[in-house]
A and B are shown apart, each in its own frame.
Chain A
């Protein structure tokens, strides 16, 4: 019958088409397997704390004399921009939580950090109190990684690596001649980060009552001091990468 012959002819053409498509798919898979997979990017998250209507620590009033006003959000953003340039020049991918004077929600900061699958997450702060640079890690007790980790304690499986990162950072800052204080404190932003995470707080180099005559505000606004701290942090991250600590990104 003509109808059945047409059906048989159409069925054969369809079978050949399907066979060709399968062959093409298998070839592409083979080609993909033969090519080496790209090396995972070494990523660092920089979180400039505060921003927008959240000035953080501040001194004076914005409407007063410009020289006397200081806001933590400005110093953290300036340090984030400096560090981003220094790290990018060393071939390190940088994810920042803010690029301008905007207030980013705390949860959004953690979402950005956790999606980046980063080898180091650094939250930047500044304060007129204290002296030198303060390094803080989460006080959470180390925990075994689990498939479902609570958001508020996502840092727990990473605490040991965060302490190791703080140690590397401490060495680099000391090498730069800076006074360093190590501590552990509960910061919700750090506690929810699923990566080696530390908070770095920059304080006046000589303390609140500097013998050099510089006020704490002058010290924090000093471009030379900011550059020294940023250089030391960048050197620490390079050291952290070269030590192989970034090999297990995404795994505590």
Chain B
């Protein structure tokens, strides 16, 4: 003789199994419908393609410690609408050149090494008036904050010259394309870091006017 409570328990479990099976079947059917709808969806808006514009990249060379300008035609975001994205796109192209196999300044990482570029108006020097600050935010000098990825810093070749060239080329490229940028600070994964790869100081602000390439003296 089966006890009554066991019979009740069996019936309850059986009912729960049936309900769960029904729900699972329904969810599966919905997912299938969603997938079919996605496959059939046609694009309704053409993607925006930015027009190609000339950009000047200051390309470093380890052989002679120099920076050489190279003008490339790149599709870039609008300077007025999003100058930070424009700066990031230009720096991404510069680092793509360094990641190429035949690079004269080999640095792995490429475009994804630049996570963000923030452009901030520099505080007016010698004046703390709000009016001066407002005017300078439109026409005055800017500070660029370049946030590099941690993997870029971790894989960067170690050495005074190679690290300095990377920073100088970034500063010079930013200034060549966005002349209002007069100073640059570097972050790695959003944090301040002492050095890029053990040598070049990342705690200081770099002035683009001081970007004097190294002078090679050969025998």
Identify the A interface with B (CB < 8 A): 50, 54, 56-58, 72, 125-131, 134, 136, 139, 170, 174, 177-188, 191, 199, 201, 203, 207-208
Contact = CB atoms under 8 A, between A and B. Distances in A.
10 contacts: A127-B159, A127-B162, A128-B157, A128-B159, A134-B160, A134-B161, A177-B219, A180-B216, A183-B161, A186-B206
A185 B159 contact: no
B65 A186 contact: no
Interface string B171-214: 00000000000000000000000100111110110100010111
A184 B201 CA distance: 12
Given A178-B219, A180-B217, A129 B198 contact: no
A57 B157 contact: yes
B198 A54 contact: yes
Question: What does DSSP make chain B's interface, helix, strand, loop or mixed?
Answer: loop
Given A72-B158, A179-B216, 10 more contacts: A57-B157, A127-B159, A130-B162, A131-B62, A183-B215, A185-B200, A186-B201, A203-B161, A207-B62, A208-B106
Contacts of A128: 157, 159
A58 B210 contact: no
5 closest residue pairs by CB, A with B: A127-B159, A57-B158, A183-B214, A129-B162, A186-B201
B217 A174 contact: yes
Contacts of B218: 179-180
A182 B217 contact: yes
B199 to A, nearest CB: 7
Contact of B214 (A179, A182, A191): A182
Contacts of A170: 217
Contact of B159 (A57, A174, A179, A188): A57
A125 B158 CA distance: 10
Nearest to A72: B158
A188 B161 contact: no
B215 A125 contact: no
A183 B61 CA distance: 14
